[in-house]
A and B are shown apart, each in its own frame.
Chain A
Amino acid sequence: MAKRKKAPKLITPAMLRDSFDRRSMVVGVLQGGVGVLLATRMGYIALAESQKYQMMAESNRVNLSLIPPRRGWILDRDGQPIASNRADFRVDLIPDRVIEKEKTLDELAHMLGLDEIALQDVRDRLEKARGFQPVEAGSHLSWEQFAAISVRQPDLPGVVPQRSFSRYYPSGPCVGHLVGYVGAANAKDYEKEHNPLLITPGFKIGKDGLEKVYDQVLRGEPGARRTEVTASGKIVRDLETREDVPGKPIKLTVHAGLQEYASRRIGTESGACVVIDCLTGDILCFVSMPSFDPNSFTDGVGRLEWKMLSDDDHVPLRNKLLHGLYPPGSTVKPTVALAFLEAGLSPTASVNCSGGLRVGNRVFHCWNHHGHGSVDMAKGIYQSCDVYFYHFAQQIGMDQIAKTMRKIGYGQKFPMPFPSQSFGTVPDPAWKMKKYGKEWAIYDTVNATIGQGYVQVTPLQQAVIASRLASGKMLFPRLMHDDKIGTPASLDFPQEHLDLIHSAMNEMVNGRGTGARARIPIPGVQMAGKSGTAQVVGLNIGNGKGGLWRHRDHGHFICFAPFDKPRYACAVLVEHGGGSGAAMPIAKDVMTYMFDQQKAWDALAPLEAGWGGTPQQRQATKYRAYAAQYGVSAPAVQDSDEALARESEADARPAPQPIQSDAAPPAPEPQADDTPAPAPAPSATPSGTAGPHP
């Protein structure tokens, strides 16, 4: 075309025609070139890369969805379900696929009838979830609601209505601390285990307690459904379906009825109760109250529920049974007496109690300032005389006492299917030197022998101690029904020593002792026990019986029945119950349940009427009150999983023990005619463990 540059000045139509011919060739060649290019391109896509695109078309067309497996049941010792599944219509949101969030939420709220509070909770969950993580928008839908959402699904991308199974705990809060709870996997869970099942809507993993520890057993194998779907996710037809394999059940030694009874019997108190079979070590009930309702945790905790839980000074999220550490108070005395016998002290050796014991230039007081008169070992136990123990403990020495205490279960950790447990302290001179670099002092022995000072136990240990005292055998608590029962080794206490302790503990309840309120109304069955009151604050702050709830004494009671042929051992703790008087009636009713369930239920009915119903009913009432008071103004839940984890971590750490520099004043023991413990008053700060302050 360079020729054109030096073209002649005069241009004729013929020249233009020539130019047209030439240029039409150029255009024609360009057109042909484009045609060849298109044919080549098509050949490349349709022939060379055909396989790749066929696969992509297939993965477009076919949607493989996992069917969450039905979770294995948790059964009690008789096969009663503690955790089961129920068929459920639910709807989830996949945040990544939701296009118009507000519009979608509005539609859902309208179709599901969500109120402001529920909608806020869905919004919170949506905010926290990673994009791929399904978020529950509603469960337990009616068939009509489910059908309505299913019809609208193509217009609401990211909304997944589903027919599935959801976890169900028939007795709700009564088993919270026993089984833990399940919930949707969070981002951290997914990082740990890159399993597509974890982000399948409706799939839950164990988040705490047994549900977490036995998650792999309970989980099962997911089923799969291959469906042909349109671009908008509408299912055209099912291609094939593989059924899920339900998880295996786990069986506990717990008795579901007793578990529920004991939980309800604790009522509005904050406490723990454990019953152990004295022949096998089976844990028959494993109760820490108040508790969260694992049913409501399954869907993720809402703001109001979270506020309720965190406001409660009874700390419903803490497993007091495994993680609460308390001075055992006088419940330590039978063990100390056993140590005296081991050391060769005659049970008839007596000391005169005049209300106090002078050692050097100091006087250590007995809880009974009027004095007990002449006290031998049996009377020392059933009247809980402090002077008796002050006196002989100094003769025998702390090392001997600590040895027997450790043997019987103080300070021991048991093999339990929980990630952590506390184990308390058995102090002795070597321990004190190691921990504080200080010499053991007389007041340390004085404190230890009445279960104050450095001594700390968990309610679970208390129950094991009771069962070992009762059986004389090295029983270990057993929670899983399939674990082997070994023949428990003997603790090598002479039977006459044990008989002596047993009869003194029986006397305490059924004779001249301080525990008349724990007598069980079963003819022919006598329960032996020992009460204990652990001071929380010094007498200069409060007397431990009234005043601020968190300043009141902890109440303990350990017992077993029948006293002459021990079958069941039980330990009850009531935090800030104002003394052992709060624990004894609970222990009495729980042990009554072991022999006559109807009698026990009859005793509970009027009490529950006074408390405002079962724990579930009371929680529902409280929720309504909160909803009315706070509405949607409650602060957002940060991360309930993490908050719970923090809670149990904090529990697992040993409680700070201030160094003791003086004798703890002994806590008063209840008299037979004692008035019932005062009802707990609301107070601001929760208090779990607290030793007496110097």
Chain B
Amino acid sequence: MSMTVIPTPLRGLPWGVLIPLTALVLFGATVLWSAAGGHWSPYAWKHIFNFGLFLSLAIAISRLPERAFRQSAYPIYGGLVFLLMLVEAVGKVGGGSQRWLNIGFMNLQPSELMKPGIVLVMALFYASLPPTLIRSWRALVPPVILLGVPAALVMLQPDLGTALAICFGAVVVVFMSGVPMWWFLSGGAAAAVVAPLAFFFALHDYQRKRVLVFMDPEADMLGSGYHITQSKIAIGSGGFFGKGLGNGTQSHLKYLPEAHTDFAFATMAEEWGMIGGLFILFVFFVVLFRWGMGVARRAPDRFSQLLAAGMTATIFFYVAINMMMVMGLAPVVGIPLPFISHGGSSMMTNMICIGTIMAVDRWTKGTGGRLG
């Protein structure tokens, strides 16, 4: 990345990531263009605009020094927890549940920001923990509290998808921090016991139904299984080469629900076929597997390592759950596909993650590689 023809401010940018990412966003824009019946509004134009806006944000984030991340981690975390409580309180007063706060020019969804926020605070916690304590209870109890409070607040909203995303990012950081392996093994065993109990006692009716429908979507073809079935029809009928841009009947005749948000992948697959699906997988492979995890491995210190890995995991969770959902491998949870689905808040979250990884990448280059 040291080509001299490129102006200095742009020279430090990771073009190997930004180019595929931009291609992916533009590809998403064509999908949204088609989903809107061949119009740039209301989705496609906004999609590109959001990307441009939040790319600037990401670049701005990437310019911040590591010190700034470390210093702001706990204040940001505390602020977000406060906002989550505020959302809960406003919802209670308003006589219903809500997930956002109206702050004048936009609806702020604190639970979205909590996804990178939890990764940040977890990374800092483990980076500050003396290595000798990594196998003691002091490596476990504070993170459980740090995670438990926001996760519980988000579950209360109720927003299972986001709560799971927050947990996933945090758990990946905990895993990477080097805590004893048997914690995870026994944790997994405990989850296997708790999951059925939670299914019957903790989940809401509609959530339970989604899980049941996921087990057997064809049993309730016209009811809750409708989403999954229509999505599979869209993907399957696209075949290898797709029906061609603008020719998707499932999306245009509105058989496919949420064709521009959660099921945008199905909209894409109907018109672009498996080729389009492989392109998306390839871009995510480049961005997450090669770049995101690569940056984490090369990162100079423990904090930046955990930070980059956690941010990568957060994006990965979106991608994996959304694509498994549209292909009938996961229950229907409202999680959009990053860089393809329409939606400003998910774009913001993902670009914050990207910007953070870019920052870690910059620190690495600035220090000339990893330190001991």
Contacts and interface: CB of A to CB of B under 8 A. Distances in A.
Given A24-B176, A38-B320, A229 B253 contact: yes
A20 B235 contact: no
Contact of A45 (B230, B232, B324): B232
B274 A27 contact: no
B178 A28 contact: no
9 contacts: A4-B182, A28-B293, A34-B320, A45-B327, A53-B235, A54-B239, A57-B237, A57-B255, A229-B253
A240 B274 CA distance: 32
Contact of B281 (A15, A24, A35): A35
A48 to B, nearest CB: 9
B178 A228 contact: no
Contacts of A394: none
B297 interface: yes
A52 interface: yes
Interface in A443-469: none
Nearest to B308: A24
Nearest to A229: B253
A212 to B, nearest CB: 36
A230 B293 CA distance: 44
Contacts of B51: none
Contacts of B293: 24, 27-28, 31
Contact of B132 (A11, A17, A52, A53): A11
Interface in B173-209: 175-178, 180-182
B277 A42 contact: yes
Nearest to A26: B175
A61 B327 contact: no
A38 B253 contact: no
Contacts of A4: 180-182
A52 B329 CA distance: 19
A611 to B, nearest CB: 56
B249 A57 contact: yes
A395 interface: no
A61 B253 contact: yes
Interface string B311-333: 00100100010011001110000
B344 interface: no
A489 interface: no
Nearest to B320: A34
A638 interface: no
A103 interface: no
B233 A46 contact: no
Interface stretch (B3-11, B104-112, B284-292): B284-292
A346 interface: no
B347 interface: no
How many chain A residues sit at the interface, stated as a range, is 35 or more
Contacts of A10: 132
A49 interface: yes
Given A52-B236, A57-B249, A46 B176 contact: no
Contacts of B131: 11-13, 15-16
Nearest to B129: A16
A628 interface: no
A485 interface: no
A13 B302 CA distance: 8
Contact of A56 (B237, B277, B278, B323): B237
A19 interface: yes
A20 B302 CA distance: 9
Contacts of A19: 178
Contacts of A230: 253-255
Cβ-closest 10 pairs across A and B:
A53-B236, A57-B237, A19-B178, A231-B254, A1-B181, A46-B274, A54-B237, A61-B249, A53-B237, A230-B253
A368 B172 CA distance: 117
Contacts of A609: none
Interface in A62-107: none
A35 B278 CA distance: 10
Given A5-B182, A27-B175, A230-B254, A20 B320 contact: no
A24 B305 CA distance: 10
A271 to B, nearest CB: 55
Interface string A234-272: 001000000000000000000000000000000000000
Interface string A28-59: 10011011011101110111011011101110
Given A10-B132, A35-B285, A230-B254, A50 B239 contact: yes
Given A50-B236, A50-B239, A53-B236, A42 B327 contact: yes
Interface string B213-248: 000000000000000001011111111100000000
Nearest to A228: B253
A27 B249 contact: no
Contact of A24 (B132, B233, B296): B296
Nearest to A5: B182
A665 to B, nearest CB: 73
B172 to A, nearest CB: 6
A39 B288 CA distance: 16
Contacts of B235: 42, 45-46, 53
Interface in B34-62: none
Given A11-B135, A53-B233, A231-B254, A38 B239 contact: no
A21 interface: yes
Contact of B302 (A16, A21, A58): A16
B269 interface: yes
Given A50-B237, A60-B249, 6 more contacts: A17-B302, A20-B305, A24-B176, A41-B327, A46-B273, A60-B233
A8 to B, nearest CB: 11
A42 B328 CA distance: 10
A24 B316 CA distance: 14
Nearest to A96: B222
B323 A38 contact: yes
A232 interface: yes
Nearest to A57: B237
B94 interface: no
B320 A47 contact: no
Contact of A47 (B132, B176, B240, B297): B240
Interface in B96-152: 131-132, 134-135
Contacts of A1: 181
Nearest to A56: B233
Contact of B233 (A15, A16, A20, A57): A57
A23 interface: yes
B178 A27 contact: no
Contacts of B284: 35
Contacts of A23: 175-176, 178
